[in-house]
Every structure is written in structure tokens, then in C-alpha cells.
Amino acid sequence: MSLSPSEPSLRRARQVAVLALAGALLAACGTKDNLATGSIPDDYRTRHPIVLAEGERVLDIPIASGDRRLTQGTRDVIAGFAADYRNAASGVVQIMMPRGAANSHAAQAMRREIRGVLAAAGVPAKRLLETSYDAGPYGDAAPIRLSYVAITAQTGPCGTWPEDLNLNTLENKNYYNFGCASQSNLAAQLANPTDLLGPRQMSPIDATQRGQVISDWRGTGKKDDPTN
């Protein structure tokens, strides 16, 4: 029985439709796999890089109107601030006195003591610069502010939301603010920001310590002898 002229065309059309459907299914599977396991192109470390830049480090010292001397806790905090300055900077340390506040006289009375604590902690007197600031926004308890500028590891500001998260859920991309807080916290934890530039030089070998460690490891050291 011979086929009519339209039947071969119908059969070819069906075959094309089946192939097209199979291709669509395979493409859908590939898209699903890419969404689930594909790499995310927008790396948060690239979007929120940690950079080295100048930053101001500040210590506010609270002063009450009746204060006439620094407490021991406050002196310790100032000494710690001075130690951080010695490790991070070599410029000036500003001592900013409040102007126009109820505690201005008390602050002036303790100015010399603060200078003495800084000098005793290793800050040269010629690098201490006294200035003043308007204490209006602080009210009656305006602090004495210590500050210096040093190279600091930092990121850009966090909390930026340029896009609606509901519009990009099918692309499997992390949102713009993703990872910013982690990068910012990591930068704040760096005691020495220059560690980002490369490794430090190795310190000289301590021959005495090395010999003691080898002796203890061999079991011939005095620490390993139970009779000693």
C-alpha cells in the first residue's frame, strides 16, 4: 500500500517535534545543574576588597566636671593607645581639648597628666600636638580626644542594597552586600595591616632553644628524667 504524499511530510514533522522536545528537556536539565552547582562569578572578595589606606585612630577619654586626676584604668587605656601608636605610626598624636563644655576646666587640669602618660609609654614629646574642638554636640561630658593617622586595613562601607533581592533569585548569584561584613571584620582583626603585602623576614635561629628542644625530644633532657 503506497503512502499518500502528505504522510511522509507528517512523519518528518513528528520526528522534528520529538527532537526539539528532547533538546528542550536537555537544555532545561543543563540550566538546572548550572543554577545548582555552577560557580558564582561575582566573588565577594573582589566586590568588597580589603585595601590599605590612611585611617584615623581615635581614643575618647571621658572627663567629669569634678575630676582632678586620671583613674588607673584610664591611664592603662592611654598607655595601650600609645603602644598601638608606636607599632603603627610615626606621625603626630593630637590631644584635642573640648571647648565650651561644662567640663572644660577639668579637662585642662588633666591635660598635663595625659601628656605624661603618653610620654612614659614611649611617645616623643615633640610629636604631641594640642588642639581644641567644639564640644557643643557632646553636652556637658565632652571627652578629651586622642588621635593619630596610620595605615589601616579597611573595606568600603557595608549596607549597600542597589538591587531588589526578589528580582534576581533565579540567577544563583550572591547579592551585592554579601560578604561585606566578613571582609570588614577580617580587616579590623589585622594587628599589622602590612601583613597583607607579604610575609615578614624570618627571625634569627635561637641555638639554645633549638638544642633544648632536640634534647627533650631525644629523651635525654633533665625535664624527661623522673628522678630530677
pLDDT recorded at residue 10? 56
Domains in the chain, CATH or no CATH each: 32-50+155-193 (no CATH), 56-151 (3.30.1330.60)
Residue 100 pLDDT greater than 50, yes or no:
yes
% of the chain beyond a pLDDT of 90? 36
Total Cβ atoms within 10 A of residue 96: 20
* Residue, of 173 and 152, whose pLDDT is higher: 152
Close Cβ partners of 160 (under 8 Å, ≥ 6 residues apart): 176, 177, 180
pLDDT recorded at residue 73? 94
126: DSSP letter: G
Q: Break the chain down into helix, strand, coil percent, rounded to 5.
A: 45, 15, 35
Total Cβ atoms within 10 A of residue 141: 14
Average pLDDT of span 193-200: 86
Lowest mean pLDDT segment, chosen from 7-16, 94-103, 141-150: 7-16
Residue 1 pLDDT greater than 50, yes or no:
no
Average pLDDT of span 93-117: 91
Length of the chain, please? 228
26: DSSP letter: H
Beta-bridge partner residues of 110: none
pTM: 0.61
Give the Cα separation of 111 and 144 in Å (integer): 9
Average pLDDT of span 163-174: 72
Most confident of 38-42, 105-109, 123-127, 136-140: 123-127
In tens, the pLDDT along 38-76 reads: 444 478 898 899 999 998 999 999 988 888 899 999 999
Residue 92 pLDDT greater than 90, yes or no:
yes
Band (pLDDT 50/70/90 cuts) for residue 80 is very high
Please report, to the nearest 10 degrees, the dihedral formed by the alpha carbons of residues 65, 68, 73, 74 taken in order. Answer: 70
pLDDT recorded at residue 222? 53
176 φ, ψ to 5°? -60, -40
Say if residues 44 and 183 touch (Cβ distance below 8 Å): yes
In tens, the pLDDT along 11-40 reads: 666 665 555 555 555 555 544 443 333 444
C-alpha 195 chain-centroid distance = 13
Lowest mean pLDDT segment, chosen from 9-23, 29-43, 120-134, 141-155: 29-43
